[in-house]
Amino acid sequence: MGALIACSSGDNNADTTSGNGGGTSTMVGGAGGTGAQMPSSGPGGADGSQLIINEIMYDPKAVSDEAGEWIEIYNAGVNSVDLKGYRIHDQGSNSHTIASSVTVEAEGYVVLGRQGSNNGGYDADYVYGNDFFLANSKDAVILRGPDDAEIDSVIYGSTAPWPLKNAGVSIELSAPTLDNATPTSWQLAIVSYGDGDLGTPGGPNGGAIPGDYTIDDTVDGWHQPALKTSLFFGPLDPLESIVLDELKLAQDKIRLAFFNIRLYDVRQLLKSKIAIGVDVHVILDKKQQALSYNTMGEQLVADGITVTLVERTEAVDATMHDKFAIIDDGRVITGSANYSHTALNISDEDLVVMESSSLAARYQLEFDELIADGDDKSAPYGASDKIHAWMGPEDSIYQKVISALDGAQNTALVAMFQFNTSSILDAIIDAKNRGVAVVVVLDKVQADDPESLANETLSSAGISVVLAHNMGSNFAEMHSKFAVIDHQLLLIGSYNWTNLGSFFNDENLLIIDDGHLAARAEGKYADMLNAYGAPSASSLGLTTGPQTVDFEVNNVTLGAQEKLMIKSIGGGPFDPAVEMSGTTLAANVEAGTRIEYRYEIHDSKGPLALEGTTHAFTVPYAPGPFSVVDTFEK
């Protein structure tokens, strides 16, 4: 083989060639390192066993390396073998002799793990502890029999031609008959286990096991399929990856209108898109780009991207405050978040993704008006339209908010970064006075500003105010801007309920009439109440106790002997996994509980297919039932 390797001296020995006293060494393939060509005698051959190092998890993500590393051994022979007395070691000083019986059945698997519990969710057949550990760059795994004869060995790397290192993803043989000394015989795992890492510890490598089930990959995974709309909320949802994945879909055109963009990966993605002919145009606020630390506008221009800077001069602090993206005239992404690392990973933020040519056209009109300095009012909607997009200041969006609050009958839950528009404050107080349960979450830093009226005004009117101080970083904020009325109507967008936002800024506001999406927003509200030390939900006039959540998977057809399971990730109401009734499940879950989960397809022998993704839903402090529609994602 002749490859230079580094011994296991820990996870940071990226390019070193010396280990724990083992020195620099090379290893030449032969009997060791050839999983498909075993010795003709000795413990690995004459007894009918053929032990193969089949899968290696050297860099877990769900837990630390000290807890989550493991090695899988496959027996390709016709007889079982007991591994007691066998030894695993590397080319340095790491070595462990298996001290108890561990039987590998013919055509069976065993998992040798560094820890037996809290290990990321796999079942260890034997725990070897800290005698042996796996480097995250390159290392060796050598298996020897009780007579010290070498049975198999693998010298793996983390760069080409080996599968590139991917935290939380094991490397596995594409087939156990392949030569495991050859890097191209290995692949990255694609199905998840336990707490969400990818791998198949104790089972066949690769994707789903064939069965009678079918998974329709053409079904899109919208939170609300009828409206082709999904809601995501940071920091619990991975907003950065969602945004980048959506922008990657662009084939013809991208339009971005943002108060500010600072994320390097957005710039790189836009560069890659213009390189293949995608038409990209970006609008940014001119006042923000005049600040010395905001250089994205200049960088994008240098990359060959069209950038327009918009300046609002109607008030001293007025801004182009929009935050929306249009993709291929058919998809819109909007919400509270600017495209920065803090916004998309740490702050409390809202993200709406919609597929609709009519909504895209409406946002395109706003985009064109920003360039032309126009202020035409948006066209009215029909009675059957469930999503209304309004633009400020021309559409008097503050009046849309007041109208919605005036219609509240039971509850009004507000989360607002900045708030000082007196007419909206009056509408909230009026709602409280006629018996509506009103709760308002405000960013603490903004609420403490002397110019902010909301905290004192609302509190003096007897309205419950929660001050949220996001401590995720020095720049983190409770930056959300949404309200949910009567568990049905959702108001969300770039619009702070301030005088600047109401009368001077360029803003956008969505009003969505849908219980599915309102429930997801109320779930985020529950997350914030739980995170920011709010009084008990019952004292706020909200609903507590178990609530019914109806789960449905809309792209799976099961065979006669198969069942769909739902499993909590990292503990929760579906741990252990719960069998569904066909592809649905009505579960009673305590209000305020956040559930992170995946789906699995089983037959009588065990798992056939495991999802490679994680879903999430927080049960609101509101009366159920709630409907959750998911797609099974391979």
As annotated, the active-site residues are 479, 481, 486
Residue 521 DSSP SS3 = helix
> Cα separations (Å) of 344 from 167, 266, 376?
21, 12, 32
Residue 629 DSSP SS3 = strand
Q: Quick one: how far is CA 390 from the chain centroid?
A: 29
Q: Quick one: how far is CA 517 from the chain centroid?
A: 18
Backbone angles phi, psi at 479, to 5 degrees: -100, 10
Distance between CA atoms of residues 484 and 526, nearest Å: 12
Q: Is residue 253 left, alpha or beta, with left meaning phi > 0 and alpha meaning psi from -120 to 50?
A: beta
Assess contact for 86 and 99: CB atoms under 8 A. no
> How many other C-beta atoms are found inside a 10 Å radius of the C-beta of residue 230?
20
Count, residues in the chain? 634
Q: What residues does 154 pair with on adjacent strands? A: 141
- Cα torsion 570, 576, 580, 585 to 10°: value is -50
Distance between CA atoms of residues 182 and 186, nearest Å: 8
The CA-to-CA distance between both ends of the chain, in Å, stands at 36
Q: Strand locations in 250-364, DSSP E?
A: 253-258, 279-285, 306-310, 323-327, 331-335, 349-355
Consecutive H or E run containing 74: strand 70-75
Distance between CA atoms of residues 76 and 36, nearest Å: 9
Distance between CA atoms of residues 293 and 15, nearest Å: 35
Distance between CA atoms of residues 29 and 152, nearest Å: 10
Q: Kindly tell me the number of DSSP H helices and DSSP E strands found in the chain.
A: 13, 38
